[in-house]
Amino acid sequence: MDYASILQLLDSTIRLSTPLLLACLAGLWSERAGIFDIGLEGKMLAAAMASATVASLTAAAPGWSLFGIELTWAKSLLSPVIWGLIAGILASVIFALIHGVASITFRGNQLISGFALNFIAAGLTVLVAQRVFGQGGRTPQLAGDARFPPLTLPLSDEIREIPGIGPLWYEVISGHAILVYVAFAIVPLTWWLMYRTRYGLRLRAVGENPAAVDTAGISVIRLRYSALIITGILCGIAGAYMSTALQAGFGRDMTAGRGYIALAALIFAKWRPVAALWSCLLFGFFQALALRPDIVTAVVQFRVPGPILDSLPYILTVLVLAGFIGKATPPRAGGEPYTKER
């Protein structure tokens, strides 16, 4: 295996890790506040559909109007892909709030609520895309300003010729959509908010011992809703990245279990933000490997069947969950609805 294919592998690792990382941090916020959320998958899917739809429609304006209002002004205000991002975040936050109503306000089963929302998202996204575009539940191919362009970092052309570090900078670090850099920047931001602010302290407390937080006169319900809104925003960015940067449009079930892998990465990371970065990079690396069977064959010297390669991330997840790589202890109040004592 030569240096060039290693660089290609690392490059796709970064691109494939990004949605996992965003979803993983989303899960971190809600689970640290004591709300299990297996609905990350559905939120990403809803956001991917909403982003691609709105980006496509805005890019097609003039000619597009909503309820008779011409929306060309929108295009002059912000680029179509940004409108797409906003729509994706909104869709995801709406799903997060439904999860909140079911699991916080009505103290329902958090696993079942998340699971149900995944189904609703899987069906509804196809229904809406079919209604709007009539192309079998897909959005049209996005192009131009309906997608996030790759960003060329400074110096990448200048140092490209330097052996070793030059190609690494040019191929792997530079040339991604801006959301990739946003995702990596959210890791230290999450760490700072969680461990260095009063809000973060309260949020972690509400995931461990909500009664104590309540006794201190702080609203458990408000804290948990705020965490779910952050979860919604992060899943929204993840979904928008899927359909307007990683790929060029929405297709049915395009998240393909990433929400669940992100949950596994979260457990692997033991619910800590910086560790989440590493575990998502690892899972992203496995997804990148599954895309390059030629490299795997070259390394292990025999043909690994494609389906086996595809299932590697899931097998790894089970091994991780089995606790062979250290014990993971979830937030203590996770999954338990909070009932104020009367």
Partner 1 sequence: MQPLPKWADLVLVPLISLALAFFVAALVILAIGESPWFALKTMVQGSLMTASGWGHTLYYTTSFIFTGLAVSVAFHAGLFNIGGEGQAQLGGLGVALACLYIPWPHWSLALLGATIAAAAFGAAWVAIPAWLQAKRGSHIVITTIMFNYIAASVLMFMLVDVLRPIGQQDPSSARFPAEVLIPRLNQIPGLDLLFPRTVPANITLFLALTAAVLVWLLLWHSRTGYHIRAFGKSPGAARYAGISATRITMIALLISGALAGMMSVNNVLGDAQRLLGNSAAGAGFIGIAVALMGRNHPVGVILAAFLFGFIFQGGSELGFMTAIPIEMRVVIQGLVILFTGALDMMVRMGLERVFPRAANPAKPTTAGAA
Taking CB under 8 A as the criterion, which residues in 206-225 touch partner 1? none
Contacting range for partner 1; rule: CB under 8 A; set: 67-75, 109-117, 174-182, 200-208? 109-117
Both structure tokens of 54: 């709105």
Does 338 engage in binding with partner 1 (CB under 8 A)? no
Return the residue of 149, 150, 188, 257 that touches partner 1, per CB under 8 A: 257
CA separation for the pair 23, 237 (Å, rounded):
9
Q: For residues 38 and 61, which CB has a smaller minimum distance to partner 1 in the complex?
A: 38
Q: Which residues pair with 66 in a beta bridge?
A: 69
Q: Please tell me what DSSP assigns to residue 148.
A: P
Return the residue of 166, 314, 336, 338 that touches partner 1, per CB under 8 A: 314
Return the residue of 107, 196, 222, 332 that touches partner 1, per CB under 8 A: 107
Does 118 engage in binding with partner 1 (CB under 8 A)? yes
Smallest gap from Cβ 24 to partner 1, in A, equals: 13
Smallest gap from Cβ 323 to partner 1, in A, equals: 5
Q: What is the 3-state secondary structure (H, E, C) of 177-234?
A: EHHHHHHHHHHHHHHHHHHHCHHHHHHHHHHHCHHHHHHCCCCHHHHHHHHHHHHHHH
Does 318 engage in binding with partner 1 (CB under 8 A)? yes
Give one word for 144, left, alpha or beta, with left for phi > 0 and alpha for psi -120 to 50. Answer: left
Q: For residues 5 and 339, which CB has a smaller minimum distance to partner 1 in the complex?
A: 339
Taking CB under 8 A as the criterion, which residues in 283-312 touch partner 1? 305, 307-308, 310-311
Site string for partner 1, 34-63 (x = CB under 8 A): ----x-------------------------
Does 137 engage in binding with partner 1 (CB under 8 A)? yes
Does 135 engage in binding with partner 1 (CB under 8 A)? no
Q: For residues 51 and 110, which CB has a smaller minimum distance to partner 1 in the complex?
A: 110
CA separation for the pair 310, 148 (Å, rounded):
27
CA separation for the pair 17, 289 (Å, rounded):
12
Taking CB under 8 A as the criterion, which residues in 171-190 touch partner 1? none
Alpha-carbon separation of residue 76 from 52, 66, 104 (angstroms): 19, 16, 40
CA separation for the pair 49, 177 (Å, rounded):
18
Return the residue of 100, 317, 331, 333 that touches partner 1, per CB under 8 A: 317
Contacting range for partner 1; rule: CB under 8 A; set: 23-31, 120-128, 142-150, 207-215? 120-128
CA separation for the pair 84, 54 (Å, rounded):
5
Does 120 engage in binding with partner 1 (CB under 8 A)? yes
SS3 state of residue 65? strand
Does 133 engage in binding with partner 1 (CB under 8 A)? no
Cis peptide before 62 (omega within 30 of 0): yes
SS3 state of residue 25? helix
Does 196 engage in binding with partner 1 (CB under 8 A)? no
C-alpha gyration radius of the chain: 21
Closest residue by Cα to residue 212 from 59, 333, 326: 333
Q: For residues 60 and 325, which CB has a smaller minimum distance to partner 1 in the complex?
A: 325
Does 192 engage in binding with partner 1 (CB under 8 A)? no
Does 267 engage in binding with partner 1 (CB under 8 A)? yes
Contact yes or no for 91/47 (Cβ under 8 A): yes
Binding residues for partner 1, rule: CB under 8 A, are: 38, 98, 101-103, 106-113, 115-124, 126-128, 130-131, 137, 252, 257, 260, 263-264, 267, 305, 307-308, 310-311, 314-315, 317-318, 321-323
